[in-house]
Amino acid sequence: MIRTTERIEMVANLARSWLSWSAPAAAAQAAGHPLVALESTIIAHGMPYPENVRTAREVEALIRDAGAEPATIALIGGRIRIGLSDDELEMIGRSDHVHKVSRRDLPAVLASGGLGATTVAGTMICAALAGIEVFVTGGIGGVHRGAQDTFDISADLQELAKTSVAVICAGAKSILDIGLTLEYLETHGVPVLSCEQDNFAAFYTRDSGFRADFRMDDAAEQARFIRTKWDLGLDGGVVLSTPVPEAAAMSSEEIDALTQHALDEAAAQGITGKAVTPFLLARIKALTGGRSLATNIALVKHNAEVGARLALALARSKRGASAV
Ligand code: PSU
Ligand code: MN
């Protein structure tokens, strides 16, 4: 007779059998070095080629320089790749046939062996399977403006509610209803931490106008908070918002006007479902003549530095706990 704990272990092993590790990521994991997960939707659908691939490599280098090991996650050939080779990164960044993979899409793309770029939700699932606690992205998905009518709420928020990964972001874009996004996270018990300022960030701009739940500038303090949450059995993610560096920030007047324009275009063209976010991102990039791309790159790099520091602090707190 199989005991419950053994059954749980069998299920976990089965899930992990879908993972395929790059050599550096596997070595880091085996040695207990801190890993930082990175998503691939931002590469495949969030930025144009070749800036996407170049940025992805620069972000990985920043994380390595800070003492952690980057693991960019994507679906390739029916496996969940944890850590991408140069060729794999190039393929994800270049191909026009990359699926955008959230929780719903994961089994379809894995089973068919197609090429998949993971969203915040998709990457959180894969990172948790791989035992990676920290994940750096640009901006999280959220409650869309007008969701009262469309029900368009990103699956990222449900994932944050249940999957135990810390997500470092520059807040959420103002293409979303940031107030409702924060309400939704509160309802589902997802803490929103902010570093460097009291307010939640708004991606292209530093200040969303909404307060985060807790301000924590110091990585050791962030790690203590996160470790305490998970030690208590309070499963689920944590959002850590950090603003785009001042020099790269855009003006809120400009971004507000462009966002409204892009939203009107999306409505006029009947864009719905998973196409909404990529459409808005692409239109804003075009409307700013590419300037928003520079802001996007700067904020992701800054998030990588904050995330690497947190990963180191969390790894220290794990060792501290097991030494007791
Ligand atoms: N926001 C950004 N850039 C992005 C995304 C969101 O500023 O690239 C991507 C992320 O992968 C995020 C996804 O998880 O879009 C959310 O898509 P949707 O709204 O369809 O859930
Ligand atoms: Mn949506």
pLDDT tens, residue by residue, 224-256: 999 999 999 999 999 999 999 999 999 999 999
CB 313 within 8 A of CB 223: yes
Q: What is the DSSP letter of 171?
A: B
pLDDT tens for 121-148 read: 999 999 999 999 999 999 999 999 999 9
Residue 264 exposed, middle or buried by CB count within 10 Å (0-12, 13-18, 19+): exposed
Q: How far is the CA of 318 from the centre of ligand 1 (A)?
A: 30
Taken as a whole, the chain contains a residue count of 324
Query: Does residue 323 carry a pLDDT above 80?
Result: no
Global pTM reads 0.96
3-class DSSP assignment, residue 62: helix
Ligand 1 binding pocket mutation candidate from 59, 102, 104, 120 (most atoms within 8 A of CB): 120
Q: How far apart are the CA of 87 and the centre of ligand 2, in A?
A: 30
Q: How confident is the model at residue 320 (pLDDT cuts 50, 70, 90)?
A: low
- Do β-strands 192-194 and 214-215 pair in parallel, antiparallel, or remain unpaired? parallel
Residue 197: phi and psi, rounded to 5, are -160, 165
Query: Percent of the chain, pLDDT > 70?
Result: 98
154 lines ligand 1 (CB under 6 A): yes
Q: Is 274 annotated as catalytic?
A: no
Ligand 1 lined by 262 (C-beta under 6 Å) = no
Phi, psi of 297, rounded to the nearest 5 degrees: -65, -45
Of the candidates 314, 301, 310, 306, the residue with the CA atom closest to the CA atom of residue 60: 301
How far apart are the C-alpha atoms of 272 and 195, rounded to whole Å? 34
* 254 noted as active-site residue: no
Q: What span, in angstroms and rounded, lies between the C-alpha atoms of 39 and 127?
A: 10
155 labelled as ligand-binding? Answer: yes
Mean pLDDT of 103-117: 98
In whole angstroms, give the CA distance from residue 319 to residue 297.
Answer: 33
CA of 321 to the centre of ligand 1 (A): 35
Q: Tell me if 277 CB under 6 Å of ligand 1.
A: yes
Of the candidates 52, 50, 140, the one whose C-alpha atom is nearest the C-alpha of residue 102 is 140
Q: Is the pLDDT of residue 166 over 50?
A: yes
What beta strand segments (E) does the chain contain? 19-21, 35-38, 69-76, 79-82, 99-101, 116-118, 134-136, 166-169, 192-194, 214-215, 238-241
Name residue 199's beta-bridge partners. 211
The H or E element that residue 102 is part of is none
What CA–CA distance (Å, rounded) separates 61 from 54?
11
With a 6 Å cutoff on the Cβ, whether 46 touches ligand 1 is yes
| Cβ(37)–Cβ(89) below 8 Å | no
Tell me how far apart the alpha carbons of residues 167 and 191 are, in angstroms, rounded to a whole number. 11
- Domains of the chain, with CATH numbers? 4-323 (3.40.1790.10)
Q: Is the CB of 42 under 6 A from ligand 1?
A: yes
Of the listed 39, 60, 133, 159, which one is catalytic? 39
Instruction: Give the pLDDT score at 164.
Output: 98
The whole-angstrom separation of Cα 239 and Cα 265 is 30
